[in-house]
Every structure is written in structure tokens, then in C-alpha cells.
Amino acid sequence: MVALPLVLLVLYGGFEYGWMVLRSVQLDHAARVGAREASLDSASASTVDGAVQSVLANAGISGAVVEVTPTDPAAAAMGEVVTVSVDVDYGEVQLLGLSAFMPLPDTLHGEASMIKEPSLAP
């Protein structure tokens, strides 16, 4: 009788950790899409945020905080590194809510950097 709750906790814990890894990969992907947008010559902070939020919305993630460095990617010089980071409260995206029983992070973080591309205009 004692074994069943323990087996279920281990099973559900595996589900929760797998879900956490999936959400982390989705945040990394959203940051990568944002960094790709930020590396373009025509990028602005709002276009980067829009690209990231679109990817997150498709993944069912809301409430994420997007940070772009430099703040205005259009002002970055060619060859300069632009970085996009995405943070979300894990409580907003958790699967089963097992944080009382297992060590889970408070927030998840995704980050990507790319080099600013040269302008294609002649």
C-alpha cells in the first residue's frame, strides 16, 4: 500500500521534469528566433518582442519577460553581438504543480545571441 504513492510520485515527477525540459527548450527556441530578428538590419525592439511572443504564444506560454541587449537592436553596429533573453515564472507553465514535493526552479530562462548582420542596401 505504501509503494503505490511512491511509484506515482516518481512517475509524475518524471512527467514534471520532462515538461520542465520541454518548456526550457521552447524558451531557448523563442530567444533564438528573437536573436535572429534582432540581427537583421531592420530590427527594432518591438519587432524582436513580437517575434518572441509569437513563438511563445504558439507554444502556449504567456507572461514571459523578453529582454534585448542592446535595448535598441537597430542601433547595434554591424558585427556587434545582440542578445535576447526570455524569462518565465515556472509556476505559470508547470504541468502538474508538484513544486511542494520536488525541487523545481522558480523561473525558466532562455537566451540566444547572434552577430548583427550587414545592411543589404547598396
For residue range 74-93, list pLDDT tens digits in order.
888 888 999 999 999 988 88
Q: Residue 114 — φ and ψ, nearest 5°?
A: -145, 160
In this structure, are residues 54 and 95 in contact, taking their beta carbons and an 8 Å threshold?
no
AA letter at 98 = L
What's the pLDDT at 36? Answer: 95
What's the pLDDT at 120? Answer: 67
Number of other residues whose CB lies within 10 A of the CB of residue 87: 16
pLDDT > 70? residue 121: no
* Mean pLDDT of the chain, nearest integer: 89
pLDDT > 90? residue 122: no
pTM (predicted TM-score): 0.87
